[in-house]
């Protein structure tokens, strides 16, 4: 059996609904239609009354999730595109993120944000907003890169007693496949060594893991062994695994699909330079999307985000430092 | 004892439902007196907080409910255990009526670590979510959908007959959050009671700069929910309206939009002298103090005599003074005992390397 | 030529204004024919885009206006130079009527660097702000307040008699942005025409999950603006309504909320087979194709004969084919020529050290 | 004549209104009331029709500013507290920030955000949100620390052809005073050496500049000469001045009042570690607010944000590295 990243997300939701009567899903077009991307296909029929179509009201959708969580439920909210979460932003960062700290009452909600770029997506259907949410205390931010993680991390997101921002990458939806669903998984907060190597560490997450792995293959052909660390969750961020890898390789390149200013790559570099300075044989480097909105035309888009080629090129530069 | 004067009736938009005879019964009188005592306690608590603020004893803002007690207490009294209430800034009376203690209120204003917000949040941002009292965040309109969600949860869980109430000002109706949430409640036909206190101002801004409809209650039509208009400084009318609205919601008639006309009889906060309030409004019928009106009615109807009312007042003063005395003896929070942890999941904490501290979870300093 | 059949009249909420006799005049006929030709061009453009999409020639989504051309064209035609228009996804016809060229449309869909969005944005996200055509962002409801601001600017600058129009779907009315902006327009009494196309669905979601009021036009009451109802697939009614609404706005009567009833005769986008659309709706009067209805009327009234209509169609086809042929010969954007600069102020650029590039502004690589 | 930080903001607006007929101000309670903080005191009377009270509609306020900007005006928007900008977030980051890039039409709007903590402010009246905005390409983010900068940078914000997020710090409003208004100023994008020193660089901005200066005084008494760099604007960020200072001192501590994850301090550290690695004699360090919402009680608040004491202590630790 072969299963896609998108199907894994659907399966995880099916399992969460089946295993835990506190779970329900709320989002636009997710009921009988099965969602804009079909991540909830058939779930409304399988779980009557527990997969609800929402009006186009992101603020109210998140607010309602918080209220339901207070009453002991475990809502999953699907936002149609991560980009539209900006109109529900306040409820996420001020209502959900502060609830436990203010009241000692947990806020176990999962907000699914289909994010990241695809060809032709354009400025408002392509954004990678992990840094915006990770800046706020009180949120967990997951960025699964594999089919297995899409499945197991979504299940864990539902189980976690805190608001989880679950960034599922649209570029991986259909193309990424696995042989089956995992039965065990790393816990949230643990990064994964996606490929071991001795010459350099590339820290990345989500769709960029695959670009980094491709780059690593190219570099291997040139005799450079790159270690690729998949962060899995960018908050919490597994500093220990990063540091251990840098300790082995002495070189760090951090890659993110988001904009550079204050992104995941900045946070990784800040941690490594404060706490792992002496481990570094060369200045740590970062590679991000270009510092503009995400362009519509495929040619521009391909140049806007990091790719295997630009990662390999950055890695080669870093090796020369 | 004479029969209660029929309270001024509320005007319903959409449907005219002929209400029962609550206004005539002795149980109405009992409710009225209970409500009055709640208003009195709230007023005295507010006055005390204002004087503590002026004395420099309270950090941060102090926001009073003066002029809005009748409306607010009616909300609190119309609710039962198991219901949800998300009060706003001018709901001292409703909070107390719903079951909040004076101690919770005072502790939160002083930032006592023993209060429900444990020094972390203050003044009107207090509540006990697990007891149905939701603590507001400051962003106006943001609590309505949270109440909706709680009511959706009740439905999921098969809990029947509960309702959720929340309050907002005239200014708050201009927020997108208000709109999305009221519409959401209408679509889901939730037992939400949304109470709008049109007190003529949003901070300094008059309603003419806030909306252009004839009356805020007209908004009900555009959402397909029932609207209620009430003179917000007339306790009897408020009690009847809220009881009616809550009953409707409880019996499955969907969201109820209650719009009360009244005047804020204080500044926006205690830092504000409210010089901008129009003298004509102060002189208008809805500018009269609801507490005085209720007291007049009680005396006129001879439901209680002046001595009794005075005794109630003293009792309330004592209650408030006791609470303040207790809280003033309580220790301030100790930052070194604070866990500085925003997540419920301990194992997901970041253990940030803090360059200012001696030891750090992961760092080298 | 026979006298024009009186178009079905629009129903006005709030005030019943008896409209003039536009429906009877020969200038009405001329407008009708002009509008029809605009609808035709839009439809043919849409059909072409759909077939290019199916042929894999267009990246990203393709969103059609099928079934909404009568309403949209009426908006575009009611506006004049100097007015503002912020169209939404289903406004091919209105855009063209307002002056957008077929070339602009095609270039944007192909992402041509020569188009107004210079490959940076695509499909329906196009416009020329300095010519009054504002390019939508995707977030529903977000353009309304932008139009308000432009109208406020006109007022500041002493420009009189201009109006601003913008469109939204039934689903878009659930957004907070819609509410805040319509209220803002009402408070400022801006000459805004907000056109709601209630096409029964928001993507796959039927209106029953979107709002609970009797009719979306009832929302007008809650904002204190005039509401207009119109059968959105009847061109004559649309022309009259929009002309009426724009006239009212232009003459200082404040915002106008126009709600049209119609059916989306396509998928949400071309990726969507719209299987979920209720067969009953397709069979209902408002499910009929506005283009066909208009053509019938033209032939019935003998305003033109079939041959003439056919000639118009061929002309439109040629126009679209020409534009597509031009654009298909245009070069794709060259990422190396792109300046990757988001700020108008060149001197405030960051010159990010890009680890992937050979040279960086400030870096060492 | 002595003038406060707040008065300087008022004066800058008065001058902008007087000098440029394209300028108007729009915000809640800013008309005859003069604003929650009195930053527009008397301006409505002095400039009739150009200082408008807005409904409580942050989304529509910002949207309207963009529309007015398209039509050639230069609106100033006052948001009552920076914390409430989250409900206007979408219009800021998606509408305003993308306009120029998408259309080539500039979007010269200034959004004034009274930010930062004060005693008793609590979680929703104290936030420092500069990182959230600075992450987005297309925005300029100013964080003036002095009366002079409050004045001259606000004037420059109005003159700039891009959306400017102007963080004015509430803690500085009344207490910070200067002898008069400046007639010249550094351009936007240039940092300022607030105090020269040879032993260590502290990079900071806004209210923390004053805490850092106090710390520097304490450290001077101990024989350590700290150089304090005031960033003035965090986007653009003056990497050159930071780098030059670090080149002189070899040690870097970066201090911010915001939360740590992806904040200004992370961005500074990322830049310095990538581009100035060899300049560093010790691992660069950062000091931020604690990683929780901002607490209400003064005692907790004082411990939550960096202070002169905690900065001095961090600096001493860094000297030992
Ligand atoms: C979204 C948002 N914007 C601004 C504020 C600041 N603010 C707090 S109370 C207030 C006025 C509220 O007026 P109204 O809703 O009429 O309530 P009232 O104070 O009159 O009871 C404002 C503007 C806020 N809390 N939330
Ligand atoms: C704030 C926001 N949420 C979600 C979306 C995704 N979305 C795009 S179009 C659409 C449906 C719109 O329906 P409607 O307003 O009725 O317009 P129609 O497509 O029917 O013309 C949705 C949900 C969006 N664009 N903006
Ligand atoms: Mg009010
Ligand atoms: Mg629709």
**Residue located via tokens 């509540």:** B127
Closest-CA distance, A275 to chain D, in angstroms, reads: 7
For A126-172, write each residue's pLDDT tens digit.
999 999 999 999 999 999 999 999 999 999 999 999 999 999 999 99
Residues C103-135 pLDDT 10s: 999 999 999 999 999 999 999 999 999 999 999
**pLDDT digits 0-9 by tens, D107-139:** 999 999 999 999 999 999 999 999 999 999 999
Cα torsion through D170, D175, D178, D182, rounded to 10 = 10
Query: CA-nearest residue of chain B to C215?
Result: B222
- What residues does the ion ligand 3 have nearby, CB within 5 Å? B 169-170, 199, 202
Which positions in chain C touch A284 (Cβ < 8 Å)?
none
List pocket residues of ligand 2, CB cut-off 6 Å.
Answer: A 28, 56, 58, 80, 84, 87; C 89-90, 138-140, 169-172, 175, 197, 199, 201-203, 264, 268
> Is D220 near ligand 1, meaning CB less than 6 Å away?
no
* Residue range D208-235, pLDDT digits in tens: 999 999 999 999 999 999 999 999 999 9
Best mutation target, B109, B337, B356, to test chain D (most D CBs within 10 A): B356
For residue C344, what pLDDT is reported?
98
Mutate to test the interface with D, among B355, B363, B365 (most CBs of D within 10 A): B355
Test the A interface: residue of C270, C355, C358, C360 with most A CBs within 10 Å: C355
Closest ligand to residue C138's CA: 2
The answer to whether residue C8 scores a pLDDT higher than 60 is no
Q: C331 in contact with A at a CB cutoff of 8 Å?
A: no
pLDDT of residue B353: 54
What are the tokens at A247?
A: 């300790």
**pLDDT 10s digits, B70-95:** 999 999 999 999 999 999 999 999 99
Q: What confidence category does residue C24 fall into, taking pLDDT thresholds of 50, 70 and 90?
A: low
pLDDT at C222: 97
In this predicted structure, what is the pLDDT of residue B336? Answer: 95
Ligand nearest to C-alpha A28: 2
Mean pLDDT for C263-269 is 97
What average pLDDT score do residues B337-341 get?
95
ipTM of this predicted structure = 0.97
Contact B98 CB / ligand 1 (< 6 Å): no
pLDDT score of C20 more than 60: no
Minimum Cα–Cα distance from D136: chain C residue: C342
Region C180-197: mean pLDDT is: 98
**In which element (H, E) is residue B94 found?**
helix B92-98
**Among candidates A311, A289, A291, A310, which has minimal Cα distance to A117?**
A289
Q: How far is CA D131 from CA A228, B74, C26, in A?
A: 28, 44, 61
Q: Is the pLDDT of residue B195 over 70?
A: yes
Residue D110 CA to ligand 1 centre (angstroms): 22
3 state SS of B282: helix
Distance CA C267, CA C201 (A): 10
Band of pLDDT at residue B357, cut at 50, 70 and 90: very low
Closest-CA residue, ligand 1 atom 20, reads B202
In the annotation, is D169 catalytic? no
C-beta separation of B217 from B259 below 8 A = yes
Token pair of A25, please?
């899903």
What mean pLDDT is predicted for residues B120-139? Answer: 98
Which residue among A80, A81, A82, A125 is best mutated to probe the pocket of ligand 2, counting the most ligand atoms within 8 A of its Cβ?
Answer: A80
d(CA B28, CA A163): 45
Tell me what percent of the residues of chain C surpass a pLDDT of 70. Answer: 90
- Predicted confidence at residue C255, as pLDDT, reads 98
Q: Phi and psi of D26, rounded to 5°?
A: -140, 125
What was the pLDDT predicted at D68? 98
Verdict on whether the full-model pTM lies above 0.95: yes
**3-state secondary structure (DSSP) of residue C267:** coil
- C9 pLDDT above the threshold of 50: no
Which residue in C69, C71, C10, C73 sits closest to C248, CA to CA? C10
Q: What is the average pLDDT value for chain B, to the nearest integer?
A: 91
List CB contacts (< 8 A) between D205 and chain A.
none
DSSP E strands in chain B: the ranges are 11-13, 84-86, 164-169, 192-198, 201-202, 205-206, 226-231, 256-261
CA distance B331 to chain C (A): 44
- pLDDT of C287 > 70? The answer is yes
**Ligand 2, residues C67, C136, C138, C140: which to mutate, most atoms within 8 A of Cβ?**
C140
Residue B269 beta carbon below 6 angstroms from any ligand 1 atom: no
C114 vs D: CB within 8 A: no
Q: Worst-scoring range by mean pLDDT, A98-102, A179-183, A216-220, B21-25?
A: B21-25
Residue of D nearest to B142 (CA): D87
By Cβ distance, the residue of D29, D260, D321 closest to B203 is: D29
Distance from CA of D183 to the nearest CA of B (A): 35
Contact B187 C209 (CB under 8 A): yes
The C-alpha torsion from B309 through B313 and B314 to B318, rounded to 10°, is 150
Name the pLDDT band for C194 (thresholds 50, 70, 90). very high
Taking the Cβ of residue C189 and every Cβ of chain D, the question of whether any pair is shorter than 8 Å is answered with no
Confirm if D4 and D173 have CB atoms less than 8 A apart: yes
First-to-last alpha carbon distance for chain C, in angstroms, is 78
Q: Is D159 on the interface with C (CB under 8 A)?
A: no
The sign of the torsion formed by the CA atoms of D253, D254, D256, D260 equals: negative
What are the structure tokens assigned to A42, written together? 């058939």
Give me the mean pLDDT over the B165-179 stretch.
98
Q: How far apart are CA D148 and CA D150, in angstroms?
A: 5
Residues 162-181 (B) with a CB less than 8 A from some CB of A: 176-177, 180-181
Are B222 and C224 inside 8 Å of each other by CB?
no
Please report, rounded to a whole number, the percentage of residues in chain A having pLDDT higher than 90: 99
What percentage of residues in chain D have a pLDDT greater than 90?
A: 99
Question: Does residue D202 contact residue D253 with C-beta atoms inside 8 Å?
Answer: yes
Q: Is the pLDDT of residue B4 over 60?
A: no
Comparing alpha-carbon positions, the chain C residue that sits nearest to A285 is: C355
- Kindly state whether A190 is in contact with chain B, defined as any CB-CB distance less than 8 angstroms: no
pLDDT score of C351: 78
Residue B10 is predicted with a pLDDT of 43
Which positions in chain C touch B212 (Cβ < 8 Å)?
183, 186-187, 189, 223-225, 254
DSSP string, A41-104: TTHHHHSTTSEEE--S-HHHHHHHHHHHHHTT-EEEEE-SSGGGGGGSHHIIIIIIHHHHHHHS
Q: Is A278's pLDDT higher than 80? A: yes
pLDDT of the residue at B352? 81
CA closest to B213 among chain C residues = C224
Contact state of D73 with C144 under an 8 Å Cβ cutoff = no
The whole-angstrom separation of Cα C324 and Cα C101 is: 12
What is the rounded average pLDDT for all residues in chain A?
Answer: 98
Give the model's pLDDT for residue B12.
Answer: 46
- Contact between B48 and B324 under an 8 Å Cβ cutoff? The reply is yes
Question: With 80 as the cut, is the pLDDT of residue D250 above it?
Answer: yes
Strand partners, D228: D195, D202
pLDDT for B29: 95
C186:B212 CB<8 A: yes
User: Does B57 contact chain D (CB < 8 Å)?
Assistant: no
Residue C163 has what pLDDT?
A: 98
User: How does pLDDT run across D259-276, given as a tens digit for each residue?
Assistant: 999 999 999 999 999 999
Strand stretches in C90-202, DSSP E: 164-169, 192-198, 201-202
Give me the sign of the Cα torsion angle C197, C202, C208, C212.
negative
pLDDT of residue B354: 53
Distance, CA B35 to ligand 3 centroid (Å)? 23
Query: What pLDDT score does A160 carry?
Result: 98
Q: Is C51 exposed, middle or buried (0-12, 13-18, 19+ CB in 10 A)?
A: middle
C102, two tokens: 């077929």
Beta bridge partners of C128: C133
Ligand 1 atom with the smallest distance to the CA of B168 is 15
């Amino acid at each position: 059996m072969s299963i896609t990243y998108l199907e894994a997300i659907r399966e995880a939701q099916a399992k969460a609904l089946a295993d835990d009567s506190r779970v329900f899903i709320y989002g636009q077009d997710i009921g009988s239609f099965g969602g804009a991307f079909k991540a909830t296909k058939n779930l409304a029929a399988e779980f009557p009354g527990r997969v609800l179509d929402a009006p186009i009201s992101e603020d109210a959708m998140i607010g309602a999730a918080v209220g339901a969580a207070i009453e002991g439920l475990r809502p999953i909210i699907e936002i149609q595109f991560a980009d539209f979460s900006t109109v529900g932003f306040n409820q996420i960062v001020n209502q959900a993120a502060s609830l436990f700290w203010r009241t000692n009452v947990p806020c176990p909600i999962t907000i699914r944000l289909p994010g990241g770029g695809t060809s032709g997506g354009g400025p408002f259907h392509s954004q990678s907003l992990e840094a915006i949410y990770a800046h706020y205390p009180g949120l967990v931010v997951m960025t699964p890169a594999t089919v297995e993680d899409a499945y197991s991390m979504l299940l864990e997101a539902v189980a976690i007693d805190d608001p989880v921002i679950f960034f599922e990458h649209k570029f991986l939806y259909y193309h990424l496949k696995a042989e089956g669903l995992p039965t065990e998984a790393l816990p949230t907060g643990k990064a994964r060594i996606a490929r071991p190597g001795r010459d350099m560490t590339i820290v990345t997450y989500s769709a960029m893991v695959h670009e980094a792995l491709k780059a690593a293959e190219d570099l291997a052909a040139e005799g450079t062994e790159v270690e690729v660390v998949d962060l899995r969750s960018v908050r919490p961020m597994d500093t220990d695994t990063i540091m251990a890898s840098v300790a082995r390789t002495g070189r760090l390149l951090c890659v993110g699909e988001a904009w550079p200013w204050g992104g995941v790559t900045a946070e990784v570099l800040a941690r490594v330079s404060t706490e792992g300075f002496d481990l570094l044989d060369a200045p740590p480097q970062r590679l991000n999307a270009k510092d503009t909105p995400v362009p519509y035309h495929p040619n521009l888009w391909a140049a806007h985000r990091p790719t295997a080629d630009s990662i390999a090129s950055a890695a080669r530069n870093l090796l020369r430092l | 004892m004479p029969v209660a004067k029929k309270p001024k009736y509320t005007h319903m938009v959409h449907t005219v439902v002929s209400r029962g005879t609550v206004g005539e019964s002795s149980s109405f009188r009992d409710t009225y007196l209970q409500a009055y005592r709640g208003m009195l306690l709230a007023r005295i608590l507010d006055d005390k907080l204002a004087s503590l603020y002026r004395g420099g004893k309270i950090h941060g803002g102090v926001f009073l409910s003066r002029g809005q007690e009748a409306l607010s207490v009616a909300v609190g009294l119309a609710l039962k255990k198991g219901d949800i209430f998300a009060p706003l800034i001018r709901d001292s009376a409703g909070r107390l009526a719903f079951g909040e203690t004076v101690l919770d209120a005072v502790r939160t204003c002083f930032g006592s670590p023993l209060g429900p917000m444990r020094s972390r949040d203050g003044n009107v941002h207090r509540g006990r979510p697990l007891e149905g009292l939701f603590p507001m965040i400051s962003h106006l309109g943001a609590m309505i959908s949270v109440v909706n969600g709680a009511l959706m949860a009740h439905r999921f869980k098969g809990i029947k007959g509960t309702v959720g109430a929340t309050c907002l000002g005239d200014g708050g109706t201009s927020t997108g959050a208000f709109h999305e949430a009221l519409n959401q409640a209408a679509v889901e036909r939730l037992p939400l009671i949304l109470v709008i206190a049109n007190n003529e101002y949003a901070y300094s801004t008059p309603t003419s700069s806030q909306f252009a409809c004839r009356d805020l209650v007209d908004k009900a039509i555009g959402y397909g929910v029932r609207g209620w208009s009430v003179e917000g400084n007339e306790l009897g009318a408020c009690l009847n309206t809220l009881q009616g609205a809550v009953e409707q919601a409880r019996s499955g008639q969907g969201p109820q939009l209650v719009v009360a006309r009244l005047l804020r009889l204080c500044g926006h906060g205690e830092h504000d002298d409210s010089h901008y309030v129009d003298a004509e409004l102060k002189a208008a019928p809805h500018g009269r103090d609801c507490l005085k009106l209720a007291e007049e009615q009680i005396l006129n109807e001879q439901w209680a005599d002046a001595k009794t009312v005075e005794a109630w007042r003293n009792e309330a003063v004592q209650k408030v003074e006791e609470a303040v005395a207790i809280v003033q003896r309580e220790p301030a929070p100790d930052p070194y005992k604070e866990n500085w942890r925003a997540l419920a999941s301990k194992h997901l904490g970041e253990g940030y390397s803090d360059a200012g501290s001696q030891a750090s979870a992961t760092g080298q300093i």
